[in-house]
Structure 1
Amino acid sequence: MVLSVCPNPSIDTYAWLEDFRLGQANRISTQQEFPGGKGVHVAMALKETGVSTKLLAAWAGHSGTWIKSMCESLGITTTGVELSGMNRKCYTFLSETSSIQNTELMEPGPEMTRDDFEQFVRVFKKECENADIMVMSGSWPKGAPETAYQELIAIANEKEKKVILDCSGVQLEHALEVNVFGIHLNEHEAKQYCGTPDVQDAIDKLHEKVDLIALTKGKEGLYLSYQGKLVHANVSLEKVISTVGCGDCLTAGVAHGVSKGLGVEEIARYGAAFGAANCLRADLGMIYKADVEQLLPRVNINDLTYG
């Protein structure tokens, strides 16, 4: 079982506008809402493709109740802690004008007290017992310690459980003070942490603490380094409808491959196919098994010279 950890879930909202005029009233013509947050996207992708998963999150207010109920309607088992306040909404504004394509606005969300965090840790320890892999994704609510992921990873390491991490900023910096099995970074996060845009140099630095490294560079695709091998994976798409959540789905694809005990090339294949599948539909952060199956044989895998 894969435990999907989402400390800061959201309601992801697609909102269509004719145009966006600063200082004037702007009317939304069409709106769609989806359960969101990086870890929620991971759980949905895993469930859709037949991987057993459980979602651990911090739920707050009626928005948290809605997110949880939507996930459970998809067959995802949920657990976690209840916070005061409301889970955030994240708006993606779209229109026929290119100037606001995929413009995002994000609410602040709830706050997490020290007691809330300690309760979250207790639930995590319990869920660790039944999980083979933990995927930890995204930001934390305000008030959570800057070492939150580091503390969870240390617990997982003690229990000899694999963790795949997808986060940024100070949480990433503290998390990489301990050993972690796997990590997914985009090129901007890798440059920020490693101080270099070069894939090989960044991977060399990360391997001091990490066994499996998934480094993504947008349309250029996925670089996956694991078990002494470095491969590049990419798949061409005729049309991209939405890229929101692609990185989360790619993380889920990597976790899928690891959970199945696959080799480096096949883990990369699943990562690239999951990420690309999310581009094919307007549903935010969601993939469909049929799309993944159609994309898998189309993924190009290239072995690269390592080290």
Structure 2
Amino acid sequence: MILAVCPNPSIDTFAYLPSIKLGLSNRIEKIKEFPGGKGIHVALALQELVADVELMGIWAGATGSWIKNSCTNQGVKLSGIDIQGSNRKCFTFITTESESDHTEILEPGPQLNEIDFKEFLENYKNSLRKASMVCISGSWPSGSPRDACQQLVKLANQGNVKVFLDCTGEQLENALKEDVFGLHLNESEYLETCKDFGENAFEKIECLALTKGKEGLELRFNNRQIHAKVILDKVISTVGSGDCLTAGICFAVNKGMPIEEIAKFGVACGAANCLREDLGMLYKNDVETLYDRVEIKN
């Protein structure tokens, strides 16, 4: 089983209106809502790939209930804790007069306290017993320990469970003090981390996935390096593509595939997300079609 951990779930809300006029009333014409948070996207992608996956989150309020219902309706098994407050909503306002204009307004989300985190750790330990891999993705709620990711990695290592990370900043810095099997960063995140901590920060990473937008994926695994990309005729939305790529890599690694297949599968999953309007979602038949089109360079 792959355990997908999403510490900070959200409802991703896309609101469409003609224009935004500051200081005046603005009428929204259409709203679309999707379950959000990097770990949510990973879990939904793995579920579509028919993987054995469990989604562990920190759930709060009516928004948390909506997110959970959306995931269970798609067949995802859930675990985690319920806390006071409300999970965040992340609003993207799209002006139909110029759809390239996207304005984001992000809610703060719930407050995690020490008792909540201890309960979360106990739930995490229980889920780890069933897991062969854990994928920890995204940010943490306010009040979380600065070494929250590190604590989860350490517990997984004690249980000989591979950990794949997709996070940045202080959480990543502390997590890298432990043995981390895999890590996904985009190119700008990688360069920023190298600037802050040096390239040797990644020397213990066995599986390092660097995404470079249209340039594709650079995958370093088992002392080998490979480049993979696929060209799409049309892109509908790239939101969540990195998370779908993470899901594809975790799925392929968990199946014991060789590096070429891991790279092709990851790229196909990330690209499949671009073909659909649903955020952070892919369809298995798209992955299968794209897989054979992925170009590999050693």
Question: Quick one: distance in 2 between partners of 1:234 and 1:100?
Answer: 25
Unaligned runs of 5+ residues in structure 1 are 197-201
> Is 1:261 aligned with 2:240?
no
Q: Is the 8 A contact 1:270 1:296 kept in 2?
A: yes
The residue aligned with 2:79 is 79
The residue aligned with 1:154 is 154
- The 5 Å alignment of 1:46-195 reads 46-98=46-98, 100-195=100-195
The residue aligned with 1:281 is 276
Cα displacement (A) at 1:5: 0.2
Question: Quick one: distance in 2 between partners of 1:189 and 1:267?
Answer: 22
AA paired with 1:75?
G
> Is 1:208 aligned with 2:193?
no
Cα RMSD, aligned residues only: 1.6
Question: Quick one: distance in 2 between partners of 1:295 and 1:6?
Answer: 27
Question: Quick one: distance in 1 between partners of 2:46 and 2:231?
Answer: 23
Q: Find the partner of 2:289 among 270, 294, 297.
A: 294
Question: Quick one: distance in 2 between partners of 1:177 and 1:39?
Answer: 22
Q: Normalising to structure 1: TM-score of the pair? A: 0.93
The residue aligned with 1:20 is 20
Residue aligned with 1:57, SS: strand
The residue aligned with 1:242 is 237
AA paired with 2:72?
E
Q: Is the 8 A contact 1:203 1:213 kept in 2?
A: no
Residue aligned with 1:210, SS: coil
Question: Quick one: distance in 2 between partners of 1:203 and 1:49?
Answer: 36
Cα displacement (A) at 1:206: 4.4
Question: Quick one: distance in 1 between partners of 2:273 and 2:28?
Answer: 24
The residue aligned with 1:223 is 218
The residue aligned with 1:11 is 11
Q: Normalising to structure 2: TM-score of the pair? A: 0.96
Cα displacement (A) at 1:100: 4.9
* Runs of 4+ displaced beyond 6 Å: none
Cα displacement (A) at 1:204: 5.6
| Cα offsets for 1:119-171 (capped at 9, x unmatched) | 11111111001000000000000000010000000000111100000001111
Residue aligned with 2:237, SS: coil
AA paired with 2:114?
R
Question: Quick one: distance in 2 between partners of 1:88 and 1:125?
Answer: 26
Question: Quick one: distance in 2 between partners of 1:30 and 1:13?
Answer: 10
AA paired with 1:19?
S
| Cα offsets for 1:168-209 (capped at 9, x unmatched) | 11111111111100000011111111129xxxxx99634422
| Cα offsets for 1:258-295 (capped at 9, x unmatched) | 11110111111111111111111110111111111111
Residue aligned with 1:277, SS: helix
Cα displacement (A) at 1:16: 1.4
Residue aligned with 1:274, SS: helix
Distance 1:106 1:277, change over 3 A: same
Cα displacement (A) at 1:92: 2.0
Cα displacement (A) at 1:97: 4.3
Q: Is the 8 A contact 1:203 1:225 kept in 2?
A: no
Give aligned pairs, total.
Answer: 298
AA paired with 2:258?
G
| Cα offsets for 1:37-77 (capped at 9, x unmatched) | 10000000000011110000000001101100110111101
Residue aligned with 2:292, SS: helix
Question: Quick one: distance in 2 between partners of 1:105 and 1:88?
Answer: 11
Question: Quick one: distance in 1 between partners of 2:64 and 2:15?
Answer: 20
Cα displacement (A) at 1:29: 1.1
Question: Quick one: distance in 2 between partners of 1:103 and 1:215?
Answer: 27
Residue aligned with 1:298, SS: coil
Of all paired residues, the percent bearing the same amino acid is 51
The residue aligned with 1:199 is none
